[in-house]
Amino acid sequence: MKYRKLIFILILLLLLVGCLDKNQQNKEVKVMDKAPDKLSSFTGEINKILDNVGKIERIELDIDLDSEMGDESLEEAQKESIGEGEQSSAEEGQGGGKNQGGGQEGGGGNSQGTHEHGSSTEDKNKEKKVKERWKEIDKSLENGYISWSDYESEALKKGISKDRVTELKKSINLLAKAIEDRKIIDVYDYGSQVLLNLKPFYDLYKDEYRGEVCEIKFRIYQYYIHALNNNKEEALEQVNSIDENLNRIRLLLSDDKKKLEELDKISSFLENLGLSLDENSKRVFMLEKDTTIKKLDHLE
């Protein structure tokens, strides 16, 4: 009996060890094949460039200008305007004591001068903030070049073709030229082309879906460019094929409920994207672009 019990215990132990080994093997199999941080870092810098270009547009169109200018700049501008207004009122009062008619005429001139000064101060603050954004874009471009140089050899080892590398480099250089020339639409155009050309690099990693996200972003930016130019057919063409990208992402995110919910929101939003083309409103197009890009950022 004792021997039987010992044999039974040994069999149980062997079964337990076998189960543990299988679990360990399963864990090893589930290691995800994802893109390295170097590639993610480069993509992040391109996204920053495109994001900052959008902020420059908002500043120039006086959309959310207060938040773009910053509280300190606004307070200084307000103080200067108030101080100038008080000085103008005092001068007007002195002029009125000497000549009532002349005082009335002078008052109108001072009021106009105060308004012009306020506008001038606001324009200067706006110009300052635009310059700061371009400086951030310059920095992101520089960081992007560094990140790419760190990753390029790794991509070649992974099996990417030299033609793909050349194609990407050309789009990066075109983006750099657009930034140098401070041309917003060209930055959108070539920056989004960089994102599109990144897709084959992400596709090197079987568990990566961010290449699909890059292609969707490309199509959203191109939709925006065509919408601004009133090219309705070309704009719609860009968004009509996005469903294929969404379906491929859905397959790779089958176990991530939170991101699948975000994906459903994106899909629903994109269904009505083309309805605004008849409005021909830059502000509407901009809001659509920014909303979609932010939702896509939640997937990354």
Higher pLDDT, 210 or 99: 210
pTM of the model: 0.75
Lowest mean pLDDT among 78-82, 129-133, 184-188: 78-82
- Predicted local distance difference test score (pLDDT) of residue 279: 85
Residue 269 reports pLDDT greater than 70: yes
* Rounded distance between C-alpha atoms, residue 288 and residue 300, angstroms: 19
The per-residue pLDDT of the chain, averaged, comes to 82
Q: What is the pLDDT of residues 221-231, one digit of tens each?
A: 999 999 999 99
Q: Which contacts (CB < 8 Å, 24+ apart) does range 158-164 have?
A: 158/204, 159/204, 160/200, 160/201, 160/204, 164/197, 164/200, 164/201
Residue 248 reports pLDDT greater than 50: yes
Residue type, 134: W
Picking from 92, 90, 66, the residue whose alpha carbon sits closest to that of residue 77 is 66
Q: What is the pLDDT of residues 273-290, one digit of tens each?
A: 888 898 889 999 999 999
Q: HSE of 86 in the Cβ direction (CA atoms, 13 Å)?
A: 5
- Predicted local distance difference test score (pLDDT) of residue 75: 40
Residue 134 reports pLDDT greater than 80: yes
State the burial class of residue 162 (Cβ atoms within 10 Å of its Cβ: 0-12, 13-18, 19+).
Answer: exposed
Q: Kindly report the backbone phi and psi dihedral angles of residue 230, in degrees, each rounded to the nearest multiple of 5, phi listed first.
A: 60, 30
Whether the CB-CB separation of 68 and 131 falls below 8 Å is answered with no
Q: What is the mean pLDDT of residues 64-69?
A: 48
* Rounded distance between C-alpha atoms, residue 205 and residue 250, angstroms: 16
- Predicted local distance difference test score (pLDDT) of residue 80: 42
Residue 183 Rama label (left phi>0; alpha psi -120 to 50; beta): beta
- Predicted local distance difference test score (pLDDT) of residue 122: 81
Say which residues have a Cβ less than 8 Å from residue 140's Cβ, sequence separation at least 6.
45, 46, 48, 49, 52
**What Rg do the C-alpha atoms of the chain give, in angstroms?**
29
Predicted confidence band of residue 66 (pLDDT cuts 50, 70, 90): very low
Say which residues have a Cβ less than 8 Å from residue 7's Cβ, sequence separation at least 6.
none
Say which residues have a Cβ less than 8 Å from residue 162's Cβ, sequence separation at least 6.
156
Picking from 184, 220, 211, 201, the residue whose alpha carbon sits closest to that of residue 294 is 220
Q: What is the pLDDT of residues 160-173, one digit of tens each?
A: 999 999 999 999 99
Q: Which contacts (CB < 8 Å, 24+ apart) does range 198-204 have?
A: 198/39, 198/42, 198/43, 198/46, 198/168, 200/160, 200/164, 201/35, 201/39, 201/155, 201/160, 201/164, 201/168, 202/35, 202/39, 204/35, 204/155, 204/158, 204/159, 204/160
* Rounded distance between C-alpha atoms, residue 38 and residue 148, angstroms: 7
Residue 78 reports pLDDT greater than 50: no
* Rounded distance between C-alpha atoms, residue 290 and residue 300, angstroms: 16
- Predicted local distance difference test score (pLDDT) of residue 97: 44
Residue 246 reports pLDDT greater than 50: yes
